[in-house]
Structure 1
């Protein structure tokens, strides 16, 4: 048998003997007359807590529903109190019983009541503290682990449990990893991640509320704070468990080689995202067009930019494409956008009147700016029409471009109908030459009909 297995067996045997002795003492204590009174007090307290819970729960629920204007975290705390109402009432009552028993009788007469009171208080603390962890699976692992460990400490079994868990270990060279080390690391890192997540969320809300910073700078600062907090959490958590981090230098070199070969696109997108945030070329709320994609920026991520189009589609454009491609930012330096419309009128229409009517029609549309005058120019003489170019300005491209163009076209139609201006369409004139076969057929048909 290997030395580690022998050591584990010896520790387990000693622990079993200790637990057997304590079990004998517990059975002897339960056979004493005062133990029955303590058990009766505990059960009676539990019944009173249940009755009070049934009476208070609906009233407390209605009181919560009447709270208007409360922040979300207060509602969450109130709902958690409503869910744990019986446990809270039982904890308060059982501790009151402990204090009363210690005043009127010997401490040994309230021994079991004190154990139950400590267990109830520990469980309530874990139930409330674990709500800081957003991930449900991680919250369950941390809460169950904390419950078990606090129960062992209250029952004075923590040293025996630690010895058994620490004796079961594996050796990798000079590194020793035991079950106790793994569990300790999971709990510590889980708690630190919960704290880091809470601080990250709180700092993100405060940074986003700071209007003195540009939107892109706010996103950059939030990302930097998140990386700093979670990176420090992993480092400090591993150090707290006792993991030697000197070997991470070789690992970081291997990761660097892997990034250089296998993750070029990922690293490129990450670096491009940082550049976008630093140079402020685009920011949330900007209206951009990249290729056939036209929409406004919804959010900036470490790998991609979320662009929402007018039809509700959300495109996730890699950051590298925004750096290397030609991007049209309709609202980079200002919100003013000039739009062009092409149309044609007949040769019989007065071009001076056409230009005047077209400008007035464009500026009659609500979204067209009045202080930036529209212009209309002749751009050519076509086969069937005189061609014009109408230019006008808007300042809200996020509302859409096609709809404002459509409104201007509709205004032109109404104005041209009112002033008798024609909108021609292509026409072709066919002439039949004398002496052609088609003329002879027509003449023959005419003679036959006559």
Structure 2
């Protein structure tokens, strides 16, 4: 290890003395830094004006995006032009402008990398990939890539019977990032295509999307592992250990994932359904592998495990038919006109927009209570996801106004006291005032 480090230090020292620490090379490095500073000064004010001109002049979205991308790399293009001018001067002096040509090549590589990474949805990862690729290109142009690669291949890490090199680890991480990002792009494209198929139900669309994503991500990881020389047959041991872990420690998590697949396949619960689970009432906004997201009218989002939706009691208000009947109990006094009250209950639904006319509202006499005649109004709505309490409140307010207008009395608790004949009722008055 010490010999390799000494060799690397000696190589870098020789490279610096032969390619950097010479008069011609220092002059070229000065041109590079001077051109860079000049580019920054010239482009700082010009870029803003060009962006404003493109936004004001170009109306076509595709053309505007293309021109904005060109303006975005305009500073690098200006730097390349300055490099070529300096290189022409050096050629006229019979000097080979190696540094200037290398700087121009790096700038061109940067433009190409910038355009390619602009298609990646993760901007942070795109910048990281651009920096890594550009660094590799720079090392290759200056002749440092092979020595550094050889040095990293000499650093070996042994884990059990498996041996890795530092270069292999770096290569594997970079390839995994690239393959995963490619999988994200392909998965997004496939998701858009699946969602565009009108003949598929939302649950089938979600199931197909998750299957595509899982397959692409798994393939990306396996390709990355295979590319660095990892024997994939060794994953059999890991799979066995994973199976044991699922059987003991990951039982609940695994059962939730299986329950999620079953829910998507049998379509009993799907995104957009209005469901009631225990005290939770809301709309299924999303379905994930482990849980379903229920958005309530209060703006709170409940994450219900899929296993609970399979094993517990779930009321799906919109499973096959979106029409839902609401029962509104109403009590009236015993001396009120019951038939008139039943007619007024139907009339109370007239101004309610959400109450359906087909099926029509219905009023019923339910029974005779201790203090009231019990009536019930039954109305139908087709948008339970918009709430139930609000439409019930609107109907009750109409009933309140109509009953008062037509003399229908609301009951209040009453108690009748009977005294048996022959019983004595004594009244005792106590005076707490002290006598003076």
Of the three residues 273, 285, 289, the one matched with 1:302 is: 289
Conservation of the 8 A alpha-carbon contact between 1:38 and 1:109: no
Partner of 2:233, secondary structure, is: coil
Shift of 1:246: 1.3
Q: In the alignment, does 2:39 pair up with 1:49?
A: yes
Q: Residue 396 of structure 2 aligns with which residue?
A: 409
Residues in 2 aligned to 1:337 and 1:307: alpha-carbon distance in whole angstroms? 19
Within 2, Cα distance between the matches of 1:310 and 1:68?
42
Q: 1:290-322 CA deviation, whole Å, 9 max, x = no partner?
A: 111100011011100000111111100001111
Which deviates further from its counterpart, 369-378 or 121-130? 121-130
Q: For residue 246 of structure 1, give the secondary structure of its aligned residue in structure 2.
A: helix
Contact 1:369–1:394 (8 Å) recurs in 2: yes
Supply the distance in 2 between the matched residues of 1:135 and 1:39 (Cα, whole angstroms).
32
- What residue is the counterpart of 2:175 in the other structure? 188
2:191 is aligned to 204
Residue equivalent to 1:60? 50
CA 78–327 in structure 1, closer or farther in 2 if over 3 Å, else same: farther
Q: CA distance change for structure 1 residues 353 and 204 in 2, over 3 Å: closer, same or farther?
A: same
Q: Is the 8 A contact 1:433 1:439 kept in 2?
A: no
Distance 2:144 2:30 in 1: 26
SS in structure 2 of the partner of residue 294 of structure 1: strand
CA pair 43-441 structure 1, distance change in 2 beyond 3 A: closer
Counterparts of 1:97 and 1:192, CA distance in 2: 40
**2: CA distance between counterparts of 1:83 and 1:49?**
13
Match of 1:134 in 2: 122
**Structure 1 Cα separation of the partners of residues 106 and 243 of structure 2:** 49
Note the C-alpha offset of 1:336. 0.4
Shift of 1:186: 1.2
Matching residue of 2:14: 21
The more displaced of 340-349 and 156-165 is 340-349
Aligned partner (choices 31, 39, 42) of residue 23 of structure 2: 31
Aligned to 1:448: none
Report what 1:371 is aligned to: 358
Aligned to 1:418: 405
Unaligned runs of 5+ in 2: 430-436
What does the per-residue CA deviation read over 1:171-201, in whole Å, with 9 as the maximum and x for residues that have no partner?
3455321111111111111111121122222
Aligned length: 426
* SS of structure 1 residue aligned to 2:356: coil
For the residue of structure 1 that corresponds to 2:415, the secondary structure is: coil
Rate the CA distance shift 1:45–1:135 in 2: closer, same or farther, 3 A.
closer
Distance 1:345 1:173 in 2: 83
Matched ranges for 1:174-323 at <5 A: 174-323=161-310
The residue number in structure 2 matching 1:388 is 375
CA distance in 1: counterparts of 2:141 and 2:26, whole angstroms: 21
Are 1:90 and 2:83 an aligned pair?
A: no
Equivalence for 2:138: 151
Change (3 A) 1:58 1:309: same
- Deviation of the 1:400 alpha carbon: 0.7
Comparing 334-343 and 432-441, the one that deviates more: 432-441
TM-score normalised according to structure 2 size: 0.87
Helix, strand or coil at the partner of 1:334: coil
Residue 286 of structure 1 deviates from its aligned partner by 0.9
Q: Give per-residue Cα distances to partners, 1:326-352, cap 9 Å, x unaligned.
A: 211111112100011111222223322
Contact 1:11 1:163 in 2 (8 A): no
* Higher-helix-fraction structure: 1
The CA deviation at 1:208 is 2.5
What secondary structure, in the 3-state scheme, does the structure 2 residue paired with 1:362 have? coil
Residues 112 and 427 (structure 1), Cα distance of their counterparts in 2 relative to 1, 3 Å cut: same
2:326 equivalent in structure 1: 339
**Displacement of 1:122:** 3.0
- Contact 1:432–1:439 (8 Å) recurs in 2: no
TM-score by length of 1: 0.85
RMSD over equivalenced CA pairs, Å: 3.0
Partner of 1:111: 98
Distance in 2 between residues matched to 1:189 and 1:342, nearest whole Å: 63
Gaps of 5+ in 1: 443-450
Alpha-carbon separation, structure 2, partners of 1:106 and 1:280 = 78
Does the CA-based 8 Å contact 1:215-1:283 persist in structure 2? Answer: yes
Structure 2 SS opposite 1:315 = strand
> Is residue 20–residue 26 contact of structure 2 (8 Å, CA) maintained in 1?
no
**3-state SS, counterpart of residue 348 of structure 2:** helix
> Aligned-pair distance for 1:165?
0.9
Task: Quote the offset at 1:440 in angstroms.
Answer: 6.9
